[in-house]
């Protein structure tokens, strides 16, 4: 006879995807160093960020989406939305290197 706890654990493995090591949509996103580098150049040109964009590190802005960054076409950044954050500075020309960018929301209001 199988102990009740073992039976419950076995059932859980059959119905819960995380029990199989399943991963969410972003876990299979490959790095995108081109967009990541461009976003870090945008961040470097801004002042008054108070650490808000400190998470913009590494080469995978779409893996665990960076603050204000959205990727709707797989691995490419499509949206940069940083309204109302009172950043100052100049928008770096590197924003033009984000080739799939379709939405850029004002970064200071």
Residue 8 in this model has a pLDDT that exceeds 60: no
- Dihedral of CA atoms 69, 59, 99, 75 in degrees, nearest 10, equals -70
Q: How far is Cα of residue 77 from the mean position of the Cα atoms in its chain?
A: 9
Closest CA to 101 of 68, 67, 77: 77
Note if the pTM is more than 0.75: no
DSSP code of residue 62: T
pLDDT digits (tens, 9 = 90+) for 63-81: 888 999 999 878 899 999 9
Q: Which sequence spans correspond to the domains of the chain?
A: 24-105
Enumerate the β-bridge partners of residue 69. Answer: 80
Q: Which of the following CATH numbers is that of domain 24-105: 3.40.50.300, 3.40.605.10, 3.80.10.10, 2.40.30.10?
A: 3.80.10.10
């Amino acid at each position: 006879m199988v102990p009740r706890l073992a039976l419950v654990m076995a059932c859980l493995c059959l119905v819960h995807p995380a029990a199989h090591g399943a991963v969410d949509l972003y876990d299979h996103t490959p790095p995108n160093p081109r967009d990541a580098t461009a976003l870090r150049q945008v961040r470097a040109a801004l002042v008054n960020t108070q650490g808000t964009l400190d998470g913009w590190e590494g080469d995978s802005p779409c893996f665990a989406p960076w603050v204000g960054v959205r990727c709707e076409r797989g691995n490419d950044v499509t949206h940069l939305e940083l309204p109302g954050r009172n950043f100052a500075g100049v928008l770096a020309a590197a924003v033009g290197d984000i080739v799939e960018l379709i939405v850029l929301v004002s970064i200071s209001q």
